[in-house]
C-alpha cells in the first residue's frame, strides 16, 4: 500500500478526480492530513464514510520507526530512523535560539565518497522516497509537540544529513513541494537550507525547486586539494560549480552559504585565504567555518 505522505497535491488531486471528487475536495483533505498527522488513526472525521474508505483502502498513514533517540545536554536530539525495508538513517533535531531545526537525510548511505564524512564508508545503498523524507520531519515535529511543548512550532529544515540531496533530485523535489505547500506543511522556502558538495546536474535544475537556501561544501579553493577531500570535484570542478552558482536567481536578502571544514595544516594557510578571496563571489555569500568532527580511523 502507498504512503499518503508520498503524494504532492497534484498527485492526490489526480486520485480524487478519478474517484469523482473536485480539486477543492483535494485541498481540504490535503490540509486535514497534515493538521492531524499525529493522530495515528488519522480519522479525517469531517469526511464522508465513502471518502474515508477510498483513502484507507489505497493509502497508509504510517511513519518510519524511531529505533533510537539520544538527547544531549544541549537539547540536541539524534534519532536513528528505520524504514519498512529495515534501512535506517539519522535525523537530528538541533536547538537554535527559540526554535529548532531538523537535519534530514535524503539517501541511505552516499555515493559521493567525501573523505571527511563517515557516511561515505557505507556507499550508496538507496535513495529515500519523498514520504521517507517527509516522515523524518513529521517524527521530529511530533517529538517537539510531545516533549517540548514550549517549542512545538514547526522546525526549520536543513538537508545536511546522510546523502547528497541533489543526487536524489526527483524525490527531493516532491518532498519540497509538500513542505512548502500552503495546504500541507506550509514551510516558507527561507526556512529550508540544502547543502550540496557541488552535484552539477542537480544545480542545473535548481530553478525547478522552491526558492530555498543553498549551501556549498567548499573546504578548499584549490582544485586538486578539494578533489582529495571531495572526489566529485574531478568530474565537476569547483570553477564550474562556482560559475553555476553565479547564475542562480537569488531573492532579496538571500545568500549562498559556503561551508569550510577547517583542517589544521591542510587548508588553513594564508595561501588558502588569499585564493579564497580571488575565487569566491564578492556578494551574496556567507562563509561558515566548521570544526572537524572525528570518527574512527580518521
Q: What confidence tens digit (pLDDT) does each residue in 85-103 have?
A: 999 999 999 998 778 999 9
Do β-strands 213-217 and 256-262 pair in parallel, antiparallel, or remain unpaired?
Answer: parallel
How far is residue 54's CA from residue 19's CA, in Å, rounded to a whole number?
8
DSSP result, 181-207 = -TTTT---GGGEEEEES--HHHHHTGG
Output b/e per residue, 193-226; b: 16+ Cβ within 10 A. Answer: bbbbbbbbebbeebeebebbbbbbbbbbbbeebb
Does the pLDDT at position 120 exceed 90? Answer: no
Segment 267-284 shows an average pLDDT of 90
Task: State how far the Cα of 242 lies from the Cα of 237, in Å rounded to an integer.
Answer: 9
Instruction: State the average pLDDT for the chain.
Output: 92
Task: Tell me the average pLDDT across 8-24.
Answer: 94
pLDDT of 96 reads 84
Q: Find the farthest-apart pair of alpha carbons in the chain and give their distance in angstroms, rounded.
A: 70
At 261, is the secondary structure helix, strand, or coil?
strand
Domains of the chain: 2-60 (1.10.150), 65-291 (3.20.20.70)
CA 107 from centre of chain: 10
pLDDT of 268 above 60? yes
293 Cβ contact partners less than 8 Å away, ≥ 6 residues apart = none
- Using a 10 angstrom Cβ sphere, with 0-12 exposed, 13-18 middle and 19 or more buried, the burial of residue 227 is middle
pLDDT (0 to 100) of residue 267: 96
Distance CA 181, CA 165 (A): 20
pLDDT in tens, 56-85: 899 999 999 999 999 999 999 999 999 999
Per-residue pLDDT at 280 exceeds 90? no
How open is the CA angle 248-171-151, to the nearest 5 degrees?
85
Mean pLDDT in residue range 144-166: 89
- Residue 204: pLDDT above 70? yes
Residue 51's alpha-carbon distances to 10, 19, 44, 165, 228, in angstroms, are: 18, 9, 9, 35, 56
Lowest mean pLDDT among 93-102, 128-137, 197-206, 268-277: 93-102
Q: Is the pLDDT of residue 288 over 90?
A: yes
Q: What is the pLDDT of residues 161-170, one digit of tens each?
A: 999 999 999 9
Residue 43: pLDDT band by 50, 70, 90 thresholds?
A: low
CB 144 within 8 A of CB 155: yes
Choose from 31-40, 63-72, 286-295 the range with maximum mean pLDDT. Answer: 63-72
Amino acid at each position: 500500500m502507498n504512503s499518503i505522505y508520498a503524494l504532492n497535491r497534484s498527485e492526490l488531486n489526480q486520485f480524487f478526480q478519478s474517484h469523482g471528487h473536485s480539486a477543492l475536495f483535494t485541498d481540504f483533505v490535503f490540509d486535514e492530513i497534515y493538521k492531524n498527522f499525529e493522530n495515528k488513526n488519522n480519522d479525517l472525521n469531517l469526511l464522508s464514510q465513502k471518502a474515508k474508505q477510498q483513502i484507507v483502502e489505497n493509502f497508509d498513514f504510517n511513519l518510519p520507526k524511531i529505533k533510537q533517540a539520544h538527547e544531549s545536554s544541549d537539547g540536541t536530539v539524534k534519532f536513528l530512523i528505520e524504514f519498512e525495508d529495515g534501512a535506517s538513517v539519522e535525523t537530528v533535531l538541533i536547538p537554535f535560539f527559540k526554535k529548532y531545526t531538523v537535519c534530514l537525510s535524503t539517501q541511505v548511505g552516499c555515493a559521493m565518497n567525501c573523505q571527511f564524512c563517515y557516511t561515505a564508508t557505507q556507499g550508496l545503498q538507496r535513495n529515500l522516497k519523498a514520504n521517507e523524507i517527509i516522515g523524518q520531519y513529521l517524527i521530529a515535529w511530533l517529538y517537539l509537540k510531545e516533549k517540548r511543548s514550549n517549542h512545538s512550532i514547526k522546525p526549520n529544515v536543513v538537508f545536511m544529513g546522510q546523502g547528497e540531496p541533489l543526487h536524489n533530485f526527483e524525490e527531493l523535489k516532491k518532498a519540497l513541494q509538500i513542505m512548502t505547500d500552503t495546504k500541507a506543511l506550509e514551510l516558507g522556502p527561507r526556512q529550508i537550507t540544502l547543502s550540496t558538495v557541488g552535484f552539477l546536474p542537480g544545480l542545473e535544475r535548481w530553478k525547478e525547486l522552491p526558492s530555498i537556501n543553498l549551501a556549498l561544501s567548499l573546504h578548499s579553493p584549490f582544485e586538486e586539494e578539494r578533489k582529495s577531500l571531495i572526489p566529485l570535484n574531478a568530474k565537476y570542478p569547483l570553477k564550474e560549480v562556482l560559475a553555476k552558482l553565479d547564475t542562480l536567481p537569488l531573492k532579496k536578502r538571500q545568500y549562498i552559504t559556503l561551508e569550510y571544514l577547517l583542517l589544521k595544516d591542510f587548508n588553513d594557510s594564508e595561501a588558502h585565504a588569499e585564493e579564497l578571496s580571488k575565487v569566491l563571489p564578492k556578494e551574496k555569500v556567507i562563509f561558515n567555518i566548521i570544526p572537524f568532527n572525528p570518527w574512527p580511523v580518521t
